[in-house]
Structure 1
Amino acid sequence: MAARAIMIQGTGSNVGKSMIVAGLARALLRRGLSVAPFKPQNMSNNAAVTADGGEIGRAQALQARAAGLAPHTDMNPVLLKPETDTGAQIIVQGKRRGTRAAGSFMRDKAGLLDAVLESFHRLAAQYDIILIEGAGSPAETNLRHGDIANMGFAEAADVPVILIGDIHRGGVIAQIVGTHTVLDAADRARIRGFAVNRFRGDLSLFDNGRDDIAARTGWPSLGVIPWFWEAWKLPAEDMMDIASRPGGACKIVVPQLERMANFDDLDPLAAEPEVSVEIVPPGRALPGDADLILIPGSKSTIGDLAYLRAQGWDIDILAHHRRGGHILGLCGGYQMLGKTIDDPKGVDGRPGKVEGLGLLDVHTVMGGDKRVTLSSARTIQGDLPVDGYEIHMGQTTGPDCAGAWLTLEGRDEGAVSADGRVRGSYLHGLFTSDAFRAGFLAELGHKASAQYGAGVDDTLDALADHLERYLDIDRLLQLAEPLA
C-alpha cells in the first residue's frame, strides 16, 4: 500500500505548525498508523543530534518522539544555522556543507531539492503517512522561485497542503484570505483546507469569521483550535518561544545571547516546581538574587561574548561570583568562562583571539572536526548517569580541567573552578536526566520532583487529545493523498 502524505503550511512563522505536526503524529500513532515527520528546510540554532551523528531541527526530534521514532537526518534534510544576520551554516542530510551568505543561498540551491526529495522518498518507503511541515509562509512570493520549503516542495513531491493561521496574533482572516490572493493558481489548488490555531475564549464567536474565510477562499475549514495551555512543557525550537518560567524559590538566570543555541537545556529546569527560570533580554541587568547564572550555548561564541559584554552582563556575572553565587557554562558558555578563546581560522564566526571571563582557568582553541554525537556520561561525584549530546567545535584545556565533574566514554569532561562554584561542560541535555538534575539542584539547596521525560510524553498525549477534539483529523486523513 502506498504511503500517504500531507503538508502543514502556515500563514507565517511561529503560528504553531511544529506543535500541530507533533500532536498529529501522536494522534495518528495511537490510531495504529506508522507516522514519520518531515521538514524539507528548517532554520534553527537549536539542533538535535541523531544516532548517526547528524543534526536536525529540534522540532523534528520532538515530532519523531511523538511518532514513537528515533530522530533521523532524513526527517529534516536541510538545516540552516544562522551565524550572522546575513549568513548561515548549511547542514545537508545531517552533515555540514559549509557557510553561505543569505543572498548566495537564495540564488543557488543546487542539489538541495534532490537531497530533500531523496530523504522524503526514503521515509515514504517505510511509513504509512508522512506529516510534512512547511517553513515560514508560502505567501512570500519573492521566495517562490527555487523554493524547497513550502510550495516548491509540495509541487515537486505532489502533496496536498493544509494552511494554518494564528488568530492570537490578530488578523487571521486577512492572513488566510491574503495567502489565497497572492498564490498563483497552481499553488492555490494544492491547498485543500485551512485551520485556525490559538483561539482564546468562546469558539462560537468565530463561527462567522471561519465561514467568511471558507466563502472567500473556497477551502473547507478543518477546525478552530483553542490555545493549548500546556505547550510550555514541550521543548521549544525557536528562540521566539523561550520565555521566563516562574516557579519556586530556586532562581536560575539566563542571559539571552544573540546567537543562543541548543537552549533545550533550560526545559527540564523550567519543569521543576521549585525552580524559576528567568531569561534576561538585552538591555537589562542580570538580577543579583540568582542561585545560578547559566550561560547557554552559542552559534558564534566570540560574537556572543562581545554581545554579552555590550550588555554589561560580564560585570553582573563577576559580581554574582564575588557574592558567592554559582555559574554554569554549557558548550559556548563554557568557552566564554575560560581565560581565552582563539579562533584563528574563523570556524565559529570571525577569526580572532579574545579574553574570556576568566572564571575558569582554561583556554579554548577553535578548529578541528565538528563533534556531533549522542553521549552517555556519569558524574564523578555520586556516579549518576547523564545522557546528552555534544555539538561543538574546538578543544578546551587547562588546570581547571583536572577538576572535571563528568566521565564520558572513558575520558574526563568539563572543568570546575578551584572554589567549586563555576562549572563548564560541552555536554548538552544533561538536565534531562532526573537523578542528575536532582543532585545538581540539591547542591544549590533545592529539591527536584519532576519526571521530565514522562512529562513530555504526557504532554504529547494531551496535545493529541486536544487535536482529536478540535481538528477534523478524519477529514485530514481523507485529504492525505497516496504518493505516486
Structure 2
Amino acid sequence: MSQAALFTPAPTGQPLGRCLMVQGTASDVGKSLLVAGLCRAYTKRGLRVLPFKAQNMSNNAAVTVDADAPTPADGSPVRGEIGRAQALQARACRAERSVHMNPVLLKPENDIDCQVVLRGRVLGRASASDYQRLKPGLMPAVLDSLLRLRQQADLVIVEGAGSGGEHYLRPQDISNMGLAEAANLPVLLLADESRGGVTAAVLGHHLLWSSSERARVVGFVVNKFRGDPQVFAPAADTIEAATGWPMRGLVRWFDGARRLPQEDSLALDAVTARRQAVPKPSVLTVAVLRLSRVANFDDLDPLAAEPGVNLLWVQAGEPIPRSADVVLLPGSKATRTDLAFLRAQGWDHDLIAHVRQGGHVVGICGGLQMLGHTVSDPQGIEGPPGDTAGLGLLAIQTVIGDTKRLADIDALDLVSGSRVTGFEMHMGRTTGPDMARPWLQLVHAQGQATPEGAVSASGRVMGTYLHGVFEADGFRRHWLGRVAGEGGALADAALSYQRRVEDNLDAYAAQLENDLDLDALFALGR
C-alpha cells in the first residue's frame, strides 16, 4: 500500500512546539496516567499541550471529531477513533480528541489477529507477524500526525508503548526508540517502584539500547513510589553512576488513579481484584461478565462509583452469583467469539435462570447484540463467516457489516428527562420487534428524535449501543431507582461522575507539581 493511499501529508513551514517522550520499562508502569497528569499540569500553566501515542493496543476506544477520510458530500463530520487513554489525555489538555493523537490503534480480536485502525479508519485485519511487516509502511503517517500536533501546540507529550527495551521488536519499531530516532525526540524513562526491580529494569534498558538511543535519554523517573525517598537514594546513585542518566523525580503513589478511566485489561485485572477483595455494603449488586474480548469496560466506572452499588466482575469458570440483582454484558471486540466463550462458562443457563427469577439483564454494544436471537457475520468481518445463535432474551437480530458506525451523542433522554452524552462504535446493524421499545428516547439539539436500544416485553432485559450512558448522572440515578424499586435509596445525589474525573486530574497535576521539576522537564523538550 502506497503512502499516498494511507494519508494526506500536513503542510510544512509552520512553527513547531516542543516534544518530550515518556517511555516505560514495562507495560502498565503508569505511562498513560503520567502523560495525562503532565498534560493537565502544563495546561493549567497556560500552555497549549497535546498528547501523542503512535501505536496503542486496546479495545477501549473513543470517538474523535476527525478522521483521515474524505468529507461526505452532505458536509457531515467524519468521525474516527483513538485509544481511550489518549481520549483521557486530550481531556486533560482540554482539547478536542483527534485521530492524530493515536494514529495507529490495534484492536485485538483473538490472541493472534488485530483490527488495524489507521488515523481513525479501519485499514484491515492483520496477524501479529503480518503487522510486523506492515509497520514500516505506517511510519510516514505516524510522523505526519506528530508533525500536525506540533504545529498546533507549545508542547506535545509523546507516550511510548509497552517496554522501550523489547529488542526483538526494534527493527520495525514505530512507537518507542524507532520513533524517537526518526523524530529526534528526547526520552524520559519511567520505571514502576511498586513492582520492585527498578534498578534492574533501568540498567537492562541501558544495556539493550544502542549508544545513539542511550544519548536520547534525558533522565529517568520512578513511579508509584511509597515510603521514604532517602531509602531509595542508594539505588538512584547506582543507576545514575551506571547510566549517566539523572533521576528526574520520584512520583508518589496516587490513589486517585483508580477513579480515572483505565486503558486495557491489564488495569482491569487490578481493578477487579481490588473491588472483589473488599465488597462494599450495597443496596444493589451488579454482576459483570468478564468476556474474553471485553471492550470499553470503563463504561461501568460510574456504576462502580455509586456507594449503593456493588459491582462484581464474574471471571471465567465462576457461576453468575445468585445474589446479583443485575447481570451486565459489556462491549466486545468479537461478539460471536464471546458468545461461544459465554456458553463455555455455562453463563447462558445462569442468565436464563436469573431472568426467570425476576433479575435484570443489561447489554452494552456487543452485549446488546448477544442478547438477541442471532448474530450474523456474512463477510467474516470479525472472524470466520457465519451465524451464531444469541441468548434469545431480546427479540432482535444483528448483522455485522463492513461499515463502522462512529457517532458522538449529546441529547436529551425523554424517559429520564436527563441529558445523555456518549458515543456509538460498532459494525453491526440490529433490527427486530424489541427495538420498537427503545431504552432511551433521544432528542438532539437540532430537534430530531432518535430511539436508542431495546427493551424486552417484561422490561427486565434491555440494551443499548451507547457507550458512556451511565456517565449521565441524572439518567444513572433514574435507572438505578427503577431497578431497585421502592425503598431502594441507591444513587448518591451528590455524585457527579464528570466532576469526579476532573477533580482527580487536577489533584494528580498538583501532585506532579510537587514531585517533579516541571520547568526543568519542559526545558528538556525539543
Question: Structure 1 length normalisation: TM-score?
Answer: 0.97
How far did residue 354 of structure 1 move?
1.4
User: Does residue 217 of structure 1 match 2:243?
Assistant: yes
Quick check: 1:251–1:292 contact (8 Å CA) kept in 2? Answer: yes
The answer for the alignment partner of 2:260 in structure 1 is 234
The answer for the alignment partner of 1:104 in structure 2 is 130
Code of the aligned partner of 2:24: G
Find 1:403's aligned residue among 437, 440, 446. Answer: 437
Find 1:117's aligned residue among 131, 143, 153. Answer: 143
How far did residue 288 of structure 1 move?
1.3
Quick check: 2:136–2:172 contact (8 Å CA) kept in 1? Answer: no
CA distance in 2, matches of 1:124, 1:160: 15
CA distance in 2, matches of 1:391, 1:345: 19
Corresponding residue SS for 2:353: helix
The answer for the alignment partner of 1:315 in structure 2 is 349
The answer for the alignment partner of 1:281 in structure 2 is 315
Find 1:62's aligned residue among 78, 85, 88. Answer: 88
Code of the aligned partner of 2:178: G
Code of the aligned partner of 2:320: L
Find 2:358's aligned residue among 318, 324, 327. Answer: 324
User: Does residue 434 of structure 1 match 2:448?
Assistant: no
Find 1:47's aligned residue among 55, 61, 65. Answer: 61
The answer for the alignment partner of 1:389 in structure 2 is 423
How far did residue 323 of structure 1 move?
1.5
Find 2:506's aligned residue among 448, 458, 461. Answer: 461
Q: Deviations over 1:275-297 (max 9, x none)?
A: 22111221222211112111000
Corresponding residue SS for 1:230: helix
CA distance in 2, matches of 1:104, 1:368: 21
The answer for the alignment partner of 2:337 in structure 1 is 303
How far did residue 248 of structure 1 move?
4.1
The answer for the alignment partner of 1:144 in structure 2 is 170
User: Does residue 253 of structure 1 match 2:290?
Assistant: no
How far did residue 351 of structure 1 move?
1.6
How far did residue 346 of structure 1 move?
1.2
How far did residue 384 of structure 1 move?
2.4
CA distance in 2, matches of 1:464, 1:192: 21
Structure 1, unpaired ranges of 5+: none
CA distance in 2, matches of 1:2, 1:406: 45
How far did residue 387 of structure 1 move?
0.9
Find 1:134's aligned residue among 160, 174, 187. Answer: 160
User: Does residue 23 of structure 1 match 2:68?
Assistant: no
How far did residue 120 of structure 1 move?
0.6
Corresponding residue SS for 1:207: helix
Q: Deviations over 1:106-148 (max 9, x none)?
A: 0232531111111111110111000000001121111001210
Corresponding residue SS for 2:436: helix
Code of the aligned partner of 2:351: I
- After TM superposition, the structure 1 stretch with the greater mean CA deviation from structure 2, 353-362 or 445-454, is 445-454
Q: Deviations over 1:288-311 (max 9, x none)?
A: 111211100000000011111111
User: Does residue 338 of structure 1 match 2:338?
Assistant: no
CA distance in 1, matches of 2:134, 2:347: 40
Quick check: 1:160–1:192 contact (8 Å CA) kept in 2? Answer: yes
CA distance in 2, matches of 1:350, 1:434: 40
How far did residue 84 of structure 1 move?
1.3
The answer for the alignment partner of 2:382 in structure 1 is 348
Code of the aligned partner of 2:502: D
Aligned alpha-carbon RMSD (Å): 1.3
CA distance in 1, matches of 2:172, 2:211: 18
Quick check: 1:441–1:448 contact (8 Å CA) kept in 2? Answer: no
How far did residue 382 of structure 1 move?
3.2
Question: Structure 2 length normalisation: TM-score?
Answer: 0.89
Corresponding residue SS for 1:419: coil
Q: Deviations over 1:357-410 (max 9, x none)?
A: 111111111115110111234434233221110000111111111111223453
How far did residue 224 of structure 1 move?
1.4
Quick check: 2:136–2:174 contact (8 Å CA) kept in 1? Answer: no
Find 1:417's aligned residue among 444, 449, 456. Answer: 456
- After TM superposition, the structure 1 stretch with the greater mean CA deviation from structure 2, 7-16 or 110-119, is 110-119
CA distance in 1, matches of 2:288, 2:294: 10
Q: Deviations over 1:22-80 (max 9, x none)?
A: 00011111111110000011110000111231000111110011111111111001101
Code of the aligned partner of 2:126: R
How far did residue 428 of structure 1 move?
0.8
Quick check: 1:379–1:405 contact (8 Å CA) kept in 2? Answer: no
Q: Percent identity?
A: 52
How far did residue 205 of structure 1 move?
1.6
